[in-house]
Amino acid sequence: MIEIDAVTKVYGTQTVVDAVSMTVPSGTIAVIVGTSGSGKTTLMRTINRLVEPTSGAVRIDGEDNRALPAYELRRRIGYAIQGHGLFPHRTVAQNIATVPGLLGWDQKRIANRVDELLDLFQLDPAAFRERMPHELSGGQQQRIGVARALAAEPNILLMDEPYGALDPIIRAKAQEDLLAIQARFGTTIVLVTHDMEEAIRLGHRIAVMDAGKLLQYSKPADIIAKPATPFVKELIGAPERPFRLLSLVRVADLAEPGEAAGAPLDAGLSARDAYAELLWSGREAAPVARDGAIVGRVRLQGLAKQAARPS
Amino acid sequence: MSAGLVVRAIALAILLAFLVAPEAFTPVFAPLTERGAPAIYTQADMLALAMNHLGLVAAAVVAATIVSVGLAIVVTRPFGAEFLPLSRSIANIGQTFPPIAVLALAVPALGFGAAPTFVALFLYGLLPIFENALTGLTNVQPAVREAATGMGMTQRQRLVQVELPLALPVILAGIRLSTVIALATATIGSTVAASTLGEVIIAGLLTNNVAYILQGGLVVGALAVLIYDAFLWLERALARRMGRTA
Ligand SMILES: Nc1ncnc2c1ncn2[C@@H]1O[C@H](COP(=O)(O)OP(=O)(O)O)[C@@H](O)[C@H]1O
Ligand SMILES: [Mg+2]
C-alpha cells in the first residue's frame, strides 16, 4: 500500500504539487492523469524520492519512505519511463540485470531471471539477450524498459508515460501485457499518463490532477459518472462518456440466456467493441462464445442500458 | 581486409623495420646527403629513442588524462559546479603557454632532461581531454541519467557504470588529440636534453643533414598517424556499439 499524505512540492514560487493525499491499495493500479505540467510526474517521483516533498510524507506499507537510504528504497521499486531510458552501452540482458546486479544477486540467478523476463515479454532470449538497445524497435525497447523495472521482483512499479512513444496497435498490446502481468504478480502500479482513454483502460483508480491539485481520485466508473469538477468532465470528454462506461465491462458480464444469429462475439471483448460490432453488422443481438462454446447472447438494448448514466 | 588497413599495416612494418635496423635504409637516404656525410643517424639507437619518445608521451598523456577527467568529474557533480569556470581557465592557460616557454621556465626548476619536457607535454595535454570529458559527461541523455538514479544506483555507481562509459568515446577523442600534439611537441624536448626522436632532427639541423631531419620527421609523423588511427578505430567501435555514429 502506498499512502501519499498531504504532499506539497514547491519550486521557487511555483507550487507544483499542492497538498495531495491519496492511497493506492496493494495489488491495484492507480493512474494519475492530467494535462501536461499539472504535476503528475513530480507527484509520482515523490514515491521513490527522485523528488523530496517540500512538506508531507509518503508511506509504503505503513513505513515512511525516508526510513531507508534513497538508493535502497529505489531498488525495491520498479521504475519505467517514457523513452525507456535504456543504457545504450549495455546489452539487453545487462540492462535487465541492472537492479539484480546492484542487489548482488549471483550470476546464475540473474541469468535465469533475465531469460524468464524475456519470455514473459515474448522476446526470444537467445535472440535478444546480447542485442544492443539501438538494435530494437520502439515497442521492443519499451518492453525491455518494463522488464528491467520488474527484474528484482518489486512489489511496486512506477511508470511515467510508458507508452507515450508507441503507435496505437503496439500501445494496445503493451497495455494488455501490463494488465496480464499485474493480474499475475499482484504488483501495485502507479502509472502517469495524459491520456484519459489509457487511464480508464488500465486504472482500478484514477487520480485527476490539474495545476498541482488532485481534483478527484475514484474508480473509473465514478470518474465517468460523477466528475467532481467541470475540468474532470471535460477531460473525460462529455460525448465520450457512454462509450467510456461501456469500455469498463466485458461482454461476459452482460451475457444473458437466449439465442441469436450470426458470428459469435468473444466473452472477453469489451462491451464497447461489442456495441460497435452490433451496430456495424446491423444486428439486434449476437451470440457470446467462450472458448468456442456459445454461452448466451448480448443485445443492443442491454448494451445501451449499460451505457446510460448510472443513477 | 580494407585497403586502408593494408596501407597502415605496410606503414607499420616499414616503421618497425627502420627502428630495428635503420642502416638497412642507407640506400634510401644516401641521395639526400652531401660530401659523404652519414645517411643514417647512429649516435644513438633509433629504437631506444623511439621508445623514450613514446614513453615520455604516454606518461604525460596518462597524467593529463587522470587530472583532466578527474577535474571534469568534479565540476560536473553538484558540489563542484562552481569550479567549472576556474578549471576551464586553468586548462586554457596550459594551452596558450608556448611549449618552448614552459621548457625555459621548467629547466631552472627541474634541471635538464625528461622532467621539464614531461611538464610541457602534460600541460599541453590537459585542455583537449578536459573539454571532451566535460562534453561527454554533460551530454549523457537526461532519461538515461534519470533511469540510473531511479533504478537505485548511488552517485558513484551512476558515474562509473553509466556516465563514464557513455562519455568514453568522446574522452578518447580528447586523448587522441593530446597524444598527437604531445608526439610532435616531444621533439623539442631534445633542446633541453630529453632523449627523444627530436635528437635526430636537431642533429640534422646542426650539421645541415637533410637525411637526419627527414628520418626524425618521418618516424614521428608515422607514429602520430598510426596512433591517431588506432584511437579513431577504437572510438568508432565503441560509438557503433552504442548505436551512435562518430
Ligand atoms: N526540477 C524542477 N525545477 C523547477 N520546476 C520544475 C521542476 N520539475 C518540474 N517543474 C515544473 O513543475 C511543473 C509540473 O511538472 P511535471 O510534474 O513534470 O508535470 P507533468 O508530469 O504533469 O507534465 C511544470 O511546470 C514544470 O516546469
Ligand atoms: Mg510528466
Q: Is residue B146 part of a domain?
A: yes
- Kindly tell me if the per-residue pLDDT of A80 is higher than 70: yes
Spell out the alpha helix ranges (H) of B161-197: 164-185
Q: State chain B's mean pLDDT as an integer.
A: 91
Mutate to test the interface with A, among B140, B145, B151 (most CBs of A within 10 A): B151
Which atom of ligand 1 lies at the shortest distance from residue A34's CA? 22
CATH of the domain at B163: 1.10.3720.10
Domain annotation covers residue B83: yes
Ligand 2 midpoint to CA A69 (Å): 25
Q: How confident is the model at residue B144 (pLDDT cuts 50, 70, 90)?
A: very high
> Which tens digit of pLDDT belongs to each residue from B31-80?
888 888 888 998 889 999 999 999 999 999 999 999 999 999 999 998 88
Q: What is the pLDDT of residue B105?
A: 85
Residue B10, in any domain of the structure: no
List the Cα angle B134/B159/B59 in 5-degree steps.
60
* Cβ atoms within 10 Å of A117's Cβ, excluding its own: 23
A37 CA distance to ligand 1 middle (Å): 6
> First CA to last CA across chain B, in angstroms?
21
B37 lies in a domain? no
Identify whether B211 is part of a domain: yes
pLDDT classification of B198: cutoffs 50, 70, 90: very high
| 3-state percent helix, strand, coil for chain B, nearest multiple of 5 | 85, 0, 15
Q: How many beta-carbon pairs under 8 angstroms link A with B?
A: 67
Say yes or no: CB of residue A87 within 6 Å of ligand 1: no
Q: B246: pLDDT confidence band, cut at 50, 70 and 90?
A: low
Q: Tell me if the domain spanning A2-238 has CATH number 3.40.50.300.
A: yes
pLDDT tens for each residue of A43-76? 999 999 999 999 999 999 999 999 999 999 999 9
CA of A16 to the centre of ligand 1 (A): 6
Q: Is there a contact between A74 and B165 if contact means CB atoms under 8 Å apart?
A: no
Pick the CATH number of A244-306 from 3.30.1360.170, 3.40.605.10, 3.90.1280.20, 3.40.50.720: 3.90.1280.20
Cα radius of gyration (chain A): 21
CA distance A205 to chain B (A): 24
Give the number of the atom of ligand 1 that is nearest the alpha carbon of residue A45: 17
Nearest to A99 among B143, B151, B243 (CB): B151
Amino acid symbol at A161: E
A142 lines ligand 1 (CB under 6 A): no
A34 lines ligand 1 (CB under 6 A): yes
Collapsed DSSP state (helix, strand, coil) of residue B15: helix
What is d(CA B42, CA B18) in angstroms, rounded to the nearest whole number?
Answer: 12
**pLDDT value of residue B1:** 64
Q: Are B173 and B132 in contact (CB under 8 A)?
A: yes
Expressed as residue numbers, the domain containing B125 is: 43-241
DSSP states of chain A: -EEEEEEEEEETTEEEEEEEEEEE-TT-EEEEEESTTSSHHHHHHTTTTSS--SEEEEEETTEETTSS-HHHHHHTEEEEETT----TTS-HHHHHTHHHHHTT--HHHHHHHHHHHHHHTT--HHHHTT--GGGS-HHHHHHHHHHHHHTT--SEEEEESTTTTS-HHHHHHHHHHHHHHHHHH--EEEEEES-HHHHHHH-SEEEEEETTEEEEEE-HHHHHHS-SSHHHHHHH-GGGHHHHHHHTSBHHHH-BSS---SSPEETTSBHHHHHHHHHHHT-SEEEEEETTEEEEEEEHHHHHHHHSPP-
Query: Contact at 8 Å (CB) between A23 and A3?
Result: yes
Mean pLDDT throughout A254-282?
Answer: 91
Q: Tell me the domain boundaries of chain A.
A: 2-238, 244-306
The count of domains in chain B is 1
| pTM recorded for the entire structure | 0.88
With CB atoms and an 8 Å threshold, state whether A89 touches B143.
Answer: no
Q: Give the distance from residue A265's alpha carbon to the nearest chain B alpha carbon, in angstroms.
A: 42
Region of A193 (left: φ > 0; alpha: ψ -120 to 50; beta: rest) is beta
Residue-wise pLDDT for B172-196, tens only, equals: 999 999 999 999 999 998 888 889 9
User: Residue B26: inside a domain, yes or no?
Assistant: no
pLDDT given at position A229: 94
Query: Are A177 and A121 contacting, i.e. CB atoms less than 8 angstroms apart?
Result: yes
B242 and A135 within 8 Å at the Cβ level: the answer is no
Least Cα distance to A158 among A167, A149, A145 occurs for A149
Residue A212 CA to ligand 1 center (angstroms) comes to: 10
| pLDDT at res. B136 | 94
| Residue B50 domain flag | yes
In the block, residue with C-alpha cell 632523449: B195
> Bridge partners of A265?
A288
Name the minimum distance, in Å, from the CA of B158 to any CA of chain A.
11
One-letter amino acid of A269: L
Question: Checking DSSP bridges between strand A205-210 and strand A29-34, what pairing results, if any?
Answer: parallel
The answer as to whether B77 is a domain residue is yes
Q: Please provide the average confidence, as pLDDT, over all residues in chain A.
A: 93
